[in-house]
Amino acid sequence: MEHRIQVLSVKTNLKDKTIILKCSSDIDEDTVTPDSVCLALPSSAKMIPITLSCDRRLIIISVIPEIQVGADYRLTTTTDIEDVVGDKLEPLKALKVVFESAVTTSVKIISPITFEAIEQGQEVNIVWQEEGKPEDFCYKYELQVATDSGFFDIVLHNMIECEPATPPSFSTILPAKQYYVRIRAVKDDDYGQWSKAVTFTVPKEKPAPVPNPQPEPKPRPGIPEIVDYTKDDTPVVFAPEEETPSEAIIATLVSDTRVNCDELPQTFEFVFDGAINIDQATVTIKRRDS
């Protein structure tokens, strides 16, 4: 009858990012290969990159990417793993593995808000709050700023401690680019889950507008004049209308000069009772015999 060795215990270490399998017999490390151990995260439907090593009865699985605290990992082993005498390891079938943490609080970023634009040269003021039971607050935080949502290109990584009476915050000046920020609470060697990442931008300065010279306005063509050559364009001159003479005003001679002498006087004076028109007046002087 084939003898099988057993996995006696499974232990996780959040700080070292390791899963340690303790077996019932010393393991042949040549049989522990990437094909014989598999770690997955069902929530993301991804296989997790790992490295493997052995220390007698211990199989040490080191997780390469960031650990998700409290997430349900699944660990699977095959029958290819043997001990030093050739006995096979009883396989694990999608064993649930959870990285527990002493940190039970979470972090929420208050500022900047998502897609906020920060003026270039101005300080980026990052403000957050720790949520949970006040007696469980850590007052110590890990802050990361990256240029990608996966936080592979990290441009800022700080550990920040705050006083209980002081709202946690951090200020810095960043060059023009789009950024992502996340924060998590830290307590001794443990840490909590990362906050929801917030993205913000530092836009480039807009260059001064260059005046665009406008061409001189061209005169608009006038409305074409239609000339009718069949008509006589000689201007017609109308004779002025003759003034209608007003009703003649008859002036009456109110005095005259009667001369009784043998010689003709040089002047005569006539007086009328109204204005008279002498343009067409005819004065006849007759000598009357006495």
| pLDDT tens readout for residues 23-43 | 999 999 999 999 999 999 988
As a whole number of angstroms, the longest Cα–Cα distance in the chain is 198
Residues 115 and 58 in one domain: no
Round the average pLDDT of the chain to a whole number and report it.
84
Residues 165 and 188 in one domain: yes
- Compute the distance between CA of residue 72 and CA of residue 75 in angstroms, rounded to an integer: 10
**CB within 8 Å of 53: residues ≥ 6 apart:** 29, 32, 59, 60, 62
Q: Which of 18, 52, 54, 58 is nearest to 38 (CA)?
A: 52
Neighbours of 145 (CB within 10 A): 21
Name the residue with higher pLDDT: 220 or 48. 48
Residues 74 and 138 in one domain: no
- To the question of pTM greater than 0.95 for the whole model, the response is no
| ∠ Cα 49 107 171 (to 5°) | 100
CA-CA-CA-CA torsion sign (21, 24, 30, 31): negative
Number of domains in the chain: 2
What are the backbone dihedrals phi and psi of residue 214, each rounded to the nearest 5 degrees, phi first?
Answer: -95, 140
Domain finish residue from 98, 131, 166 = 98
Residue 134: half-sphere exposure toward Cβ, Cα within 13 Å: 2
Q: What is the pLDDT of residue 64?
A: 93
Name the residue with higher pLDDT: 268 or 107. 107
Domain finish residue from 202, 237, 270 = 202
Residue 214 has pLDDT above 60, yes or no: yes
- Compute the distance between CA of residue 141 and CA of residue 194 in angstroms, rounded to an integer: 10
Q: What is the pLDDT of residue 63?
A: 95
Residue 263 has pLDDT above 70, yes or no: no
Name the residue with higher pLDDT: 232 or 33. 33
Residues 72 and 112 in one domain: no
* 39 domain-assigned: yes
- Please give the DSSP secondary-structure letter assigned to residue 27: B
Residue 118 has pLDDT above 70, yes or no: yes
User: Which residue range forms the structural domain that includes residue 17?
Assistant: 4-98
Neighbours of 124 (CB within 10 A): 20
Q: What is the pLDDT of residue 198?
A: 96
* 180 domain-assigned: yes
Domain finish residue from 147, 171, 202 = 202
Q: What's the CATH code of the domain at 131?
A: 2.60.40.10
